[in-house]
Structure 1
Amino acid sequence: MKTIAWNEFENVEMRVGTIIEVNDFPEAKKPAYQLIIDFGTELGLKKSSAQLTKRYAPSDLLGKQIVAVVNFPKKQIGPFMSECLVLGSLGEDSDIVLLTSDMKVANGLRIG
């Protein structure tokens, strides 16, 4: 495992947001959803493509608070522009379990 300096970690902007829209993404190479996530007044709405279809139905995701990196460069995924990276743990079958807040908090709060 590579170690990083504390200031490198501080440069990663991880924020809490609420998923407000989930759409199928048939053009993705691997099964995925297109998500619209509300990060509050400071950051607003951001889009993300996430490979969550093995574990989550769209109805499971709506209203769920998640953790995402919001300061990576935008990434073009097929016809879709992803603006943040939703974080999760990777299971044995490459299924993703989302990182979430165990209590409802304000959208946009920084993880630190």
Structure 2
Amino acid sequence: MNDTITFEDFSKVDLRVGTIIEVNDFPEARNPAYQLTIDFGDFGIRKTSAQITTLYKKEDLLERQIVAVLNFPRKQIAKFMSECLVLGAVNGKDVMLLNPEQPVKNGSAVN
């Protein structure tokens, strides 16, 4: 287990629900990954990459809702700029995306 954080620390993390609207291969990535374009409603459209190719096909990701951190700094990955961090549960090399059980409005907060 990692160090304990305070509620104030946790409240700084901006977790939001978004819908994947575009998925592309990312052959320049060191590990197999997709480039995702995600609609976060009032918070805009963001791009990121995700190493989720072992469990998900591109066509299965379209219109899927996910949970992401929106207030991370942008990060250069190869020639691609990541603008958020998609959350997933890691099991070995597999990453299973976190998502709401039922559809919610894009941009909804996760508390």
Q: Where do 1:31-70 residues align within 5 Å?
A: 31-41=32-42, 43-70=43-70
Matched residue, 1:71: 71
User: How many Å separate the matches in 1 of 2:91 and 2:59?
Assistant: 21
Could you report, residue by residue, the CA deviation over 1:80-104 in whole angstroms, capped at 9, with x for unpaired residues?
0000000000013x11000001000
Number of equivalent positions: 110
Paired letter, 1:58: K
Gaps of 5+ in 1: none
Segments of 4+ in structure 1 off by > 4 A?
Answer: none
User: How many Å separate the matches in 2 of 1:48 and 1:35?
Assistant: 5
Q: 1:72, CA displacement in angstroms?
A: 0.3
Q: Secondary structure at the match of 1:54?
A: coil
Matched residue, 1:7: 8
Matched residue, 1:25: 26
Gaps of 5+ in 2: none
User: How many Å separate the matches in 1 of 2:19 and 2:100?
Assistant: 10
Determine what percentage of the aligned residue pairs are the same residue: 58
User: How many Å separate the matches in 1 of 2:62 and 2:95?
Assistant: 16
Q: 1:64, CA displacement in angstroms?
A: 0.3
Paired letter, 1:78: A
Q: Secondary structure at the match of 1:4?
A: coil
Q: Output the TM-score relative to the length of structure 2.
A: 0.98
Matched residue, 1:88: 88
Q: Output the TM-score relative to the length of structure 1.
A: 0.97
Paired letter, 1:52: I
- Cα RMSD after superposing both structures: 0.5
